[in-house]
Amino acid sequence: MKQLMGNRMNAVYLAVAIFLIILPFVYESRTLLILLTQVFIFAIFAMSYDILLGYTGIVSFGHAMFFGIGAYTVGVFMKRFEPTVPNLLLSILVTILLTALVSYVLGLLTLRLKSHFYAMLTMAVAGLFLVLAEKWRTVTYGNDGFTFRVPDMLKDRTDFYLICLVSMIAVFALLKRFTNSPLGRVLQAIRENEQRTESLGYSVLHYKVIASVVSGILAGMSGILYAISLRFVNTSVFTMDITLDALLMTIIGGVGTLVGAIIGAGLIEFAHHWLTELAKVHWIFERWIIFFGIIYILAVMFFPMGIVGTLRNIKFKGKKEKQQKAGEKIAS
Amino acid sequence: MEVLINLTLNGLATGMLIFLLAAGLTLIFGLMDVLNFAHGGLFAWGAYSGTWIYTSTGSFFAGIAGAILTGLILGLATEKWIIKPVYGNHIQQILITLGLMLVLSEMLKVVWGPNQISASPPSYLAGSWELGNIIIIKYRVFIIAVGLMVFALVQYVLKSTKIGLVVRAGVMDKEMVQSLGINIQKIFMMVFMVGAAMAALGGVLLAPYSGVIYAEMGLEFAILAFIVVVIGGMGSFPGSILAAVLVGLSGSFMAYYVPSLSLAVNMLLMSAVLIFRPQGLFGLKG
C-alpha cells in the first residue's frame, strides 16, 4: 500500500517536473521565466532550512548568512578573476568550505544547549556578517554592492532556468534520500524526543551538527545561484528578510515535508510579486512584510503543519496520529 | 585621561540602555522559559511613542511616561494573545515572537513613516559640565543615573517584597510555587509587562542619546541584549547588569581604539562564555 502511494506521488512529481521543463519552450514570458527561476532558487534555500527546522527541530534565525556567503563568494570570484567555468567551480568549492566551517563551529558551540541558544547565536552571527559586508569595502564595495559578469554558458535565461530547475530536482531527490537514510531517521528521532534518542546511545550533538552542516552548504549553493541570476550582489543577501523568507516558505508550505518547502517558495515568491504590483494601487502594500508577518503568526498558532501537513492529515486519516505528532514536533 | 573618562562614561551609558533591554529579557526567560525575540520591537516602540509624545508636548518626562505606558500595554497584549497560546512549546514560541518582532517594526513604519526621526535632549539635560579640562556630557550621566535607579528598584522589589519572593521562587521552581496556591499566570503577566516597560524606557532614553531613531534599531539592540543575556546567564538579574556594562564598555573602548573589531569583540566574549561556561557567568540554568 505504502509502495503504491509512493509511486503515485512520484508520478505526480515527475509530471510536474516534465511540465516545468517544457514550459519555457511553449510559453514565452520573460517575467514568468525569471519569477520561476527565483522560485527554484528559494525552494533550494527553503529545503535546506527544512532539514534544520522540520527534520531535526532546530530553529535558526541566521540562515541568511550561508545564503550571503554563497552569493558573495561567487560575486567576488567573478569580479576579481576572469568569469570562466573553472573559476566558477572554484568559487563553489570555496563556498562549500566556508559554509561547512561556519555551520560546524556554530553548531558545536550552541547545539548542546537549549534551542534558543542556536536561534540567538545564529541571529547574532548573521548580524556580524551583515556588518562585515558593509564595512569591508575593498572586497564587498559596502552597501551598494557590485555587478559582475558570469560565464557565457550561464548567460541565456532559458538555460539558466533549466539549470536552476535541475538543481532543485537534484537537491530534492538528494534530501529525500538523506532524510530516509538511517542518518535522517536519527535526526527525526531527535526532533521527536531528544532524551530518548540520547539514551538509546546516539550522540545527539554529533547528528545535530551534521544536520547543521548539510543545511548550511545547501543554503550556500542557493546563494550562488541567486547571485548568478541577478549578476549583482549587495548586503541585502545577509539581511533578516532572507531568513524570514525561508521561515515563511517552510512553515506555510509545511515543515518536515520537503515538498512543502517547494510549494511554500512558489507561494511566497508569487505573492511577493503580486503585492509589489499592488503597491501602485495603495501604499499599504509596500509594507507587505506586515501581511506575511501576520499570516506567519497565525500559521504558527493554528496550522503548525502547514499546507502539505494539513492536506496529508485530511487525506490519510489512518495516518492521522502519526502526522499530528509531526505537527507537534515543533513542540519538543 | 580625558579620553579614558569619556569613553568610560559613554560605555556605561550604552551599557545601561542595553541593561534595560536585557533585564526584562532575562527575567521573562528565567520565570516563563520564554525567550522573547520581540523584545527589540517593544524597545523600538518605546522609542517612537516616547519621542512622539516628547516632541508634541515638549515635556521629556511626559515622553518617558508615555513610553512606559506603551510598554505596559504592548506587554499585556503580547503576553495575552501571542505568548499564552503557545506556552510550553519552545520552538513555536521562538518562531512566533520573531514574527511579532517583524510585525512590530513594520507597524512603526506605517504609523510614523519609514524615515529616521531625530530627537535631542531637553534643554536642562543638554550641554555638559567642565571639571578642569574634562568634559562630562550631562545626558550620559542622566542615563547612568536612571539605569542605576531602575536596577536598585527592581533589586529591592525582588529581594524585599512578597511579589519579589514569588518571582524568585518561580525562577527556581514554577510547579512548586503553583502548588503552594499562588496564581503564577498573574505573576507571569506582571513580569512580562514590567520587562516590556523597561525595554520601552530604554528605547525612549536612547532617542536623544543617539540623536536619531529608526525602525531597525530594535533588532540591532536586541542582538546586543541577547549577547548580554548569554554572557550574564539566562535568568540572572544581577548578571544582566554586569554583562551589559561589560558589553557597553568593551563596545565604546573598541570603537575608539580598534573600530573594526568593536562588534567582533562582543561575539568573541560570547563564544568564550559559551565554550567554558555555557550557563553564563551568573546563570542558574543552561
Give the closest of B86, B94, B109 to A59, CB-based.
B94
Give the model's pLDDT for residue B76.
94
Nearest to A142 by CA among A151, A133, A155: A133
What's the mean pLDDT in B89-116?
87
Considering only CB atoms, B219 lies closest to which of A109, A116, A240, namely A240
pLDDT number for residue A42: 94
By CA distance, what is B272's nearest residue in A? A109
Residue of B nearest to A328 (CA): B89
Distance (Å) from the alpha carbon of A113 to chain B's nearest alpha carbon:
7
* B89·A247 Cβ contact <8 A: no
Chain A residues whose C-beta sits inside 8 Å of any chain B C-beta: 53, 57, 59, 61, 109-110, 112-117, 119-121, 123-125, 127-128, 131, 135, 240, 244, 247, 251, 284, 287, 289-290, 293-294, 296-297, 300-301, 304, 330-332
Q: Given CB atoms, is B21 within the 8 Å cutoff of chain A?
A: no
Assess whether pLDDT exceeds 90 at residue B121.
Answer: no
Option in A115, A125, A304 nearest B267 (CB): A125
Question: In this structure, are residues A293 and A245 in contact, taking their beta carbons and an 8 Å threshold?
Answer: no
Topology annotation, domain A32-328:
ABC transporter involved in vitamin B12 uptake, BtuC (1.10.3470)
Query: Terminus-to-terminus CA distance in chain A, angstroms?
Result: 31
Nearest CA in chain A to B113: A287
User: Taking the domains of chain B in order of start, what are their residue ranges?
Assistant: 2-216
- Whether residues B110 and A287 touch (CB distance < 8 A) is answered with yes
Q: Cα Rg for chain B, rounded, in angstroms?
A: 19
Which residues in chain B have their CB less than 8 angstroms from residue A57's CB?
Answer: 91
**pLDDT-derived band of residue A1, with 50, 70 and 90 as boundaries?**
very low
- Helix, strand and coil content of chain B, in percent to the nearest 5, comes to 80, 5, 20
Q: Contact B220/B259 with Cβ under 8 angstroms?
A: no
Most confidently predicted of A260-264, A315-319, B120-124: A260-264
**Distance (Å, whole) CA A53 – CA A202:** 20
Residue A271 has pLDDT above 60, yes or no: yes
**Residue range A215-252, pLDDT digits in tens:** 999 999 999 999 999 888 988 888 888 888 888 889 88
Least-confidence region, from A279-293, B28-42, B51-65, B262-276: A279-293
Any CB–CB contact under 8 A between B277 and chain A? no
CB–CB of A287 and B106 under 8 A? yes
Tens of pLDDT, residues A158-216: 888 899 999 999 999 999 999 999 999 999 998 888 889 889 988 889 999 999 999 99
Neighbours of A117 (CB within 10 A): 20
What does the pLDDT read at residue A41? 94
Q: Which pLDDT score is estimated for A323?
A: 52
Nearest Cα residue in chain B from A120: B226
Please indicate whether, in this complex, the C-beta atoms of B220 and A127 are within 8 angstroms of each other: yes
- Predicted local distance difference test score (pLDDT) of residue A324: 55
A318 pLDDT above the threshold of 70: no
β-bridge mates for residue A147, sequence order? A232
What CA–CA distances, in Å, run from B23 to A18, B194, B240? 56, 10, 6
Asked if A244 lies within 8 A of B107 by C-beta distance, the reply is no
B85 to A301: CB separation less than 8 angstroms, yes or no: yes
Task: Report which of B115, B137, B131 is spatially closest to residue B209, judged by C-alpha positions.
Answer: B137
Residue B284 — very low, low, confident or very high, per pLDDT cuts 50/70/90?
low
Given B29, B91, B109, which is nearest A57 (Cβ)? B91
Q: Please check whether residue A179 is in contact with residue A48, taking contact to mean a CB–CB distance below 8 angstroms.
A: no
Report whether pLDDT(B1) > 80: no
Among partner residues B89, B229, B264, which is closest to A128 by beta-carbon distance? B264
**Least CB–CB distance from A124: residue in B92, B96, B226:** B226
Minimal C-alpha gap between B192 and chain A (Å): 18
Is residue A100 classed exposed, middle or buried when 0-12, 13-18 and 19+ CB atoms within 10 A define those classes?
A: middle
Question: Inter-chain contact A331–B286, Cβ cutoff 8 Å?
Answer: no
**Which of the four pLDDT bands, split at 50, 70 and 90, describes residue B147?**
very high
ipTM of predicted complex: 0.81
pLDDT tens digits for B215-228? 888 888 888 888 89
pLDDT for the residue A8: 77
Residues 6 or more apart whose Cβ sits within 8 Å of residue A98: A69, A73, A220
**CB A59, CB A117: distance < 8 Å:** no
C-beta atoms of B94 and A116 within 8 A: yes
Q: How many CB pairs under 8 A join A and B?
A: 106
B133 pLDDT higher than 80: no
